Chain A
Amino acid sequence: MGEFIKYYKFFIIAVIIGLFLFIFYGYFAISGHLSITYNVCDKPTLISLLTPSGRVLDAEKNQKTGDCYQRLTGEPIYFSASVPRSFNEAEVTLTYKNPEQNIIELGLEKTIAENYELQPMENKFIDDSLWDKLTSDNYILLQKNNNYKSVEDFTSNIPLNAKIATYHYSPEYNFKIDNYQPSNSILEINKALRGKHVFYTYLKNEDLDFAFAYQDLNWSFPQENFIVRVYKDETELTTVFEPSTDTNEHEKRVQLTGLGGGLYKIVLDISDDIIIKKITTKQHLLVAKDKLFLVDNEAYGLETKPSTVYSNSDEFLFKTDHESGLQDVNIAGEDLSVNKLGGYILHRLEEYNVGSFKEISIPKNDLLIQGYGYFSFNKEDFFDPDYGIDVFRSEMDIEQYDYIIADNYISPDTQAGWKTATAKYNLDGVLGDRKNLNFAISAPGLADTKDDILIKDINITLKRDPITFKYLWNKIFK
């Protein structure tokens, strides 16, 4: 017995030491690999609970199958992972059931707070489409008519006159306007705009010349900067800034000479405390992307006057925060009453051609208008820097498009009724020491659909360089 107990004691101690080594091995990710799984019924440890509780119901268990899951009734849904080391890559796999939702995406918070890099998890439009489907590497091309024999044929020569929707795909082309001629006249936009706006203009054999008349409201920030950034092909060419402290009207001019022809982006990187009262430019093509915040209204100490703007967006969101901004607007002949304060009012046109030009009449301003496309202040100033290529959205009228091209999308697998989909992320750019990763599940329109999404498991596999003798040698001695 004494001999047996001696060996048994040795065995138990060996098991405990083995356990410590196993944890040590995992904690330092010596293999360069860490896989963590969270079943929604387990106690959360490295992967947090799904939140907020209003959109995620308590865990449920199917008594027949033993499956444990949580019901998602709204979106976005958040969770985070706390990992002991900083890793380079992450693969997140969700095990879920989705009877009805068309698009599910998973986002990783990067660079700045609340800025999520979305990756596709499921797109039922693509999975269930009856159009001709071509695949190559990570690309999927759906075509209404079989005009292309391969994805490469399409991507190497994108038909810019066709209606194209892109899903996580950025088409490569140099924007060019044939027969463009610079104008000798000066374009003056006497519309007051509030806060950040992104403009696009087009140049050829001319200088970029803009003057912005602006005024600080000083409602929220007594001291801030008036900032204008100019980009070409996402490369920042210049940043002009001026400290803004008083509430007097100022003017700032941005002039760049010797520029090549092409598309230029001008970002007014300002807070909602600053109003642009007038834009004067030598450029005659000027559009604002996705948003206009028109504020010629008594609420801002300005004269209330009507505005007419033009857009190629097919749906719009309107919002006002003041009673003086309650009004009836007209969008391409359809009336809409902006009759609530502080909330967005969505308007989808009943009949439209994708990307067609629409006139919007706004009687009183003090209105934030958002859309998926471009806005201009005059008909003749309008141009479409995207060639009419739209980013895929679940509310789109797909039948109006000729092609849908997706990148980085792999349809989910199905096993025993549960789907598994994986999103891959490069963790460069994640805020902080990359030990806390914040994720968001996006499912646009989920609150309006009858069936909920059921989430069962979340698995995160993280990768970094393994700890080898060479790695340690380099760390210590180099």
Chain B
Amino acid sequence: MKILLNSTYYILRTTFPIALIAYFLLLILNILTEDFVAYYINFTAWLWVLIIMGVLILWLGRKTK
């Protein structure tokens, strides 16, 4: 169980900053391309995924200490 929690924590901690940077880069690109990126990417869903990942990282961080 401990290994599973640890692995999940490290995967999320690795994914989160990349997903966060990509989110903002795509947001800027969306403004530059006059909403073209929004046709392919659901920014609202991406933001929710980021929030859930953030909460999980905080929770798993405490659990795995």
Q: A residues within 8 Å of B by Cβ?
A: 1, 5, 8-9, 12-13, 16, 19-20, 22-23, 26-27, 36, 43, 45-46, 82, 84
Residues of B within 8 Å of A12, CB to CB, are 14-15, 18-19
Given A1-B10, A12-B18, A16-B18, A23:B37 Cβ within 8 A? yes
Do A26 and B36 touch (CB < 8 A)?
A: yes
Residues of B within 8 Å of A27, CB to CB, are 33, 36
Please tell me if B50 contacts chain A, counting CB pairs below 8 Å.
no
Q: Using an 8 Å CB-CB cutoff, how does the interface string of B18-36 with A read, 1 for contact, 0 for none?
A: 1100100110010001111
Can you list 21 residue pairs at the A/B interface with Cβ under 8 Å?
A1-B7, A1-B10, A5-B10, A8-B11, A8-B14, A9-B14, A12-B19, A19-B22, A20-B25, A20-B26, A22-B40, A23-B26, A23-B29, A23-B33, A23-B36, A26-B36, A26-B40, A45-B35, A46-B35, A46-B39, A84-B36
Residues of A within 8 Å of B33, CB to CB, are 23, 27, 84
- Within the complex, what minimum Cβ distance (angstroms) separates B44 from chain A? 9
- Within the complex, what minimum Cβ distance (angstroms) separates B21 from chain A? 8
Alpha-carbon distance between A27 and B41 when the two chains are bound, in angstroms: 13
Residues of A within 8 Å of B36, CB to CB, are 23, 26-27, 45-46, 84
Alpha-carbon distance between A8 and B10 when the two chains are bound, in angstroms: 10
Partner of B38, one of A5, A16, A45: A45
User: What does DSSP make chain B's interface, helix, strand, loop or mixed?
Assistant: helix
Residues of B within 8 Å of A46, CB to CB, are 35-36, 39
Do B34 and A23 touch (CB < 8 A)?
A: no
Do A82 and B29 touch (CB < 8 A)?
A: no
Residues of B within 8 Å of A9, CB to CB, are 14, 18
Alpha-carbon distance between A169 and B34 when the two chains are bound, in angstroms: 39
Do B39 and A45 touch (CB < 8 A)?
A: yes
Alpha-carbon distance between A43 and B22 when the two chains are bound, in angstroms: 22
Number of interchain pairs (Cβ within 8 Å): 48
- Within the complex, what minimum Cβ distance (angstroms) separates B50 from chain A? 14
Residues of A within 8 Å of B40, CB to CB, are 22-23, 26
Alpha-carbon distance between A45 and B44 when the two chains are bound, in angstroms: 14
Alpha-carbon distance between A43 and B18 when the two chains are bound, in angstroms: 26
Alpha-carbon distance between A79 and B64 when the two chains are bound, in angstroms: 54
- Within the complex, what minimum Cβ distance (angstroms) separates A224 from chain B? 38
- Within the complex, what minimum Cβ distance (angstroms) separates A130 from chain B? 45
Alpha-carbon distance between A331 and B36 when the two chains are bound, in angstroms: 56
- Within the complex, what minimum Cβ distance (angstroms) separates A263 from chain B? 48
- Within the complex, what minimum Cβ distance (angstroms) separates B46 from chain A? 11
Alpha-carbon distance between A20 and B27 when the two chains are bound, in angstroms: 12
Question: Which among A13, A23, A26, A84 has the highest number of chain B CB atoms within 10 Å?
Answer: A23
Residues of B within 8 Å of A84, CB to CB, are 33-34, 36
Alpha-carbon distance between A379 and B17 when the two chains are bound, in angstroms: 84
Question: Which among A13, A20, A45 has the highest number of chain B CB atoms within 10 Å?
Answer: A45
Residues of A within 8 Å of B6, CB to CB, are 1
Do B14 and A5 touch (CB < 8 A)?
A: yes
Alpha-carbon distance between A36 and B4 when the two chains are bound, in angstroms: 42
Alpha-carbon distance between A327 and B14 when the two chains are bound, in angstroms: 82
Do B39 and A36 touch (CB < 8 A)?
A: yes
Alpha-carbon distance between A19 and B14 when the two chains are bound, in angstroms: 18
Residues of A within 8 Å of B41, CB to CB, are 19
Residues of A within 8 Å of B35, CB to CB, are 45-46, 82
- Within the complex, what minimum Cβ distance (angstroms) separates B53 from chain A? 12
Residues of B within 8 Å of A16, CB to CB, are 18, 22
Residues of B within 8 Å of A82, CB to CB, are 34-35
Residues of B within 8 Å of A22, CB to CB, are 40
Alpha-carbon distance between A338 and B39 when the two chains are bound, in angstroms: 51
- Within the complex, what minimum Cβ distance (angstroms) separates A150 from chain B? 46
- Within the complex, what minimum Cβ distance (angstroms) separates A220 from chain B? 37
Alpha-carbon distance between A84 and B40 when the two chains are bound, in angstroms: 14
- Within the complex, what minimum Cβ distance (angstroms) separates A30 from chain B? 14
Alpha-carbon distance between A203 and B10 when the two chains are bound, in angstroms: 89
Question: Which among B7, B35, B40 has the highest number of chain A CB atoms within 10 Å?
Answer: B40
- Within the complex, what minimum Cβ distance (angstroms) separates B35 from chain A? 6
Residues of B within 8 Å of A45, CB to CB, are 35-36, 38-39
- Within the complex, what minimum Cβ distance (angstroms) separates B6 from chain A? 8
Residues of B within 8 Å of A5, CB to CB, are 10-11, 14
Question: Which among B10, B22, B36, B41 has the highest number of chain A CB atoms within 10 Å?
Answer: B36
